Structure 1
Amino acid sequence: MSGAAVLIHGFGTSARLWDQVLPLLRGEVRTLDLPGFGDSPDDRYSVDGMADAVQERLAGLENFVLVGHSMGGKVAAVLAARRPAGLSGLLLIAPSPLSPEPMTAQDRQALKAAYGHPELLTEHYRQITQQPLSADGLAQLVSDGMRGSQAAWNAWPDSGSREDRATEAGRIEVPVSVLTSEDDPVISPQVVAHHLLPSFPRAALTRLGGSGHLLPLELPAEVAAFISEKQ
């Protein structure tokens, strides 16, 4: 398989999530800030709205794979179910499941409460990672958390993560590959087994260890190898 890679970041981050992965990839790569995150002024905060924004970035691509991390994995899968012309593969990295993500009410409230508070964001990112983040890497995450839209930030725990899109998995015709970490506290092995894989029973699953939820920052070489193998 040889084509472009379209990289879709996860909740609260931006296209900068992939900065350590990009130098390790070959061929054409496209990134974007999802609506309400990074520098995007877009206000399409629903899963479909975010998928629309990604689909607009596909113009001119004749052969490509969609690569989604976390929230971006759900967005990528919903877009793949639309069967866009030129799509050759779906790569999901610690992805939110197509079924409702099993977050407690307390976790949803804590996530919303972290918005706009650097100290709470710092604690949040430390809790969801295993590999130590550099000072610059942590500062970048907090910066992305601070510059996102509060409406977009709240839309995911309130709505997007609750959407049940599992039936759409049957419309995906391209090979699906999943990369997870056994030590991910967000998309845990239990979430993978009981909420993610039932939608993708034929997916090729790669399990790593030693990383939390932010694999593109924690294990960039392994993430790049995963993408390059399928690209």
Structure 2
Amino acid sequence: MKTERIGHSDVRFRRHGEGELAAVFVHGFLDDQYVWDDMISVLTTSGLEWVTLELAGCGDRTEASGPFDYDRFAAEVGSVTAALGKDFVMVGQSMGAAVAELVAAGQPERAAGLVLLNPVPLAGTLLPDEVIDRFRSLGGDPAAQRAVRTQLSPSWPEAELDRLVVSGARIRAEVVRDFADCWNTGHPAGRRHSGFEGPTLVVRGDDDGFVTEELLGQHVTPRFRSVHSVSVGEAGHWVHIEQPARVAGHIDDFLTGVFPSGRGTASETLPAQGWTNAFAARSSDAFGEAFAADVVLEASALTRPVKGRDQVKQVMGTASAIYESLAFTQEAVQGHRTYLEWEATAFGGVRLEGVTILTRDESGRIVRAAIHHRPLDAVKRFSSELRERLRGEVEAELFHQG
């Protein structure tokens, strides 16, 4: 591990390992760069460098002067990713997730992916004064900080909780107020679709009463073009500290899809990840890599099954391009089968929901995919759109006629 600095500034970053690609981690409110250490220690993706740093006002930068806002944070983290000189994935937690998104959107030519852990909306939480004042007043009050942390996360490792309470109490009171105002007020970029259009993973702790499933569904996931969401049990707002191994597993799977050479081969990856990453890429070839040669596709948008890798990947590549947004909300695995629940929009905001069942063979490739859409009117419209887009390439009788 080595530490480097940006020019003559106080922006320093730690570099772990070596690789042609990087994963850059941004901590959240009242935290420091060391919150990532336990989780990074159990990540298994090879060929990547792990990079951590501290936002101005936190950790070893408590003497930094303002401003303390998203533009300043994104500019400083962006200077780190630029200094790395390689493609990267951004990983951020809570308000750090907003910073990670801004950096990825600002450097789309090298930002390969985005991981958001219990993200606050980039547009802000817009809490009323009596609620946000509680957070604004946490500076210099370790007992209050401990109470907030334990309220929002039920499964804290005691030693790390003690360490972060000490670290957070060192942050100046005026800095804490500015941080709270920053994530509560938000950034103008959060009021429109995300400027980052690449693959995005959203991870939420089931017991987080602050970043709720409803908050994510209304103000976070719909903003991304290619998003996959997962939930982690027995964890709250600091999911990466409470369940580091499980979160690391989700990030490893995501990185495998973003950087296929980093871990295993296409046949070794989980079918769900190959499937969701293919949706993120909106590519027929990406679907083809996940399929066995004799794969069968069944769907409520089809009048009969489609068989064979070439036709199935063509249909799925075209179908993925119809969606305006798509979020995988739940995932379960039983033996060779994976069950995915998802929500999507198409046709100018028409909502669709459904369940996909994937069956894989011994090598890990998908041999059967069954996609169940709803509601019926939207399914018929989706099928008709598929027929039109595939006219002359796939027989029209496979689709509903109107």
Return the match for 1:24 from 29, 42, 46: 42
Q: 2: distance between equivalents of 1:132 and 1:221?
A: 14
| Aligned residue pairs, count | 229
* Pairing of 1:132-143 with structure 2 (within 5 A): 132-134=156-158, 136-143=159-166
* Aligned twin of 2:68: 45
SS of 1:204 mapped into structure 2? strand
1:75 maps onto 2:102 in alignment: no
1:159 maps onto 2:177 in alignment: no
**Cα RMSD between the aligned structures?**
1.8
TM-score with structure 2 length normalisation? Answer: 0.54
* Pairing of 1:1-231 with structure 2 (within 5 A): 3-25=21-43, 26=45, 27-40=48-61, 41-42=63-64, 43-58=66-81, 59-134=83-158, 136-163=159-186, 164-167=188-191, 169-200=193-224, 202-231=226-255
Instruction: List runs of 5+ in structure 2 lacking aligned partners.
Output: 1-19, 256-402
Q: Measure how far apart 1:105 and its partner are.
A: 2.1
Q: Is the 8 A contact 1:78 1:168 kept in 2?
A: no
| Percent identity over paired residues | 28
Q: Measure how far apart 1:167 and its partner are.
A: 4.3
Q: 1: distance between equivalents of 2:192 and 2:30?
A: 25
| Equivalent AA in structure 2 for residue 32 of structure 1 | L
SS of 1:21 mapped into structure 2? helix
Q: 1: distance between equivalents of 2:172 and 2:139?
A: 9
| Equivalent AA in structure 1 for residue 166 of structure 2 | S
| Equivalent AA in structure 2 for residue 142 of structure 1 | V
Q: 1: distance between equivalents of 2:85 and 2:234?
A: 35
Q: Which has the higher strand share?
A: 2
Q: Measure how far apart 1:130 and its partner are.
A: 1.7
The structure having more radius of gyration, on CA atoms, is: 2
Greater relative contact order: 1 or 2 (C-alpha under 8 angstroms, separation 6 or more)?
Answer: 1
CA 1:224–1:44: 2 relative to 1, 3 Å: farther
Q: Measure how far apart 1:195 and its partner are.
A: 1.6
Q: 1: distance between equivalents of 2:121 and 2:172?
A: 23
Q: Measure how far apart 1:225 and its partner are.
A: 1.5
| Equivalent AA in structure 1 for residue 58 of structure 2 | F
Q: 2: distance between equivalents of 1:63 and 1:11?
A: 26
TM-score with structure 1 length normalisation? Answer: 0.91
CA 1:167–1:195: 2 relative to 1, 3 Å: closer
Deviates more, 1:66-75 or 1:163-172: 163-172
SS of 1:143 mapped into structure 2? helix
Instruction: List runs of 5+ in structure 1 lacking aligned partners.
Output: none
Q: 2: distance between equivalents of 1:113 and 1:24?
A: 35
Kindly provide the CA deviation profile for residues 17-61 of structure 1, in whole angstroms up to 9, marking residues without a partner as x. Answer: 112112112431000011111112443411010011111211123
Q: Is the 8 A contact 2:91 2:115 kept in 1?
A: yes
Q: Is the 8 A contact 2:137 2:173 kept in 1?
A: no
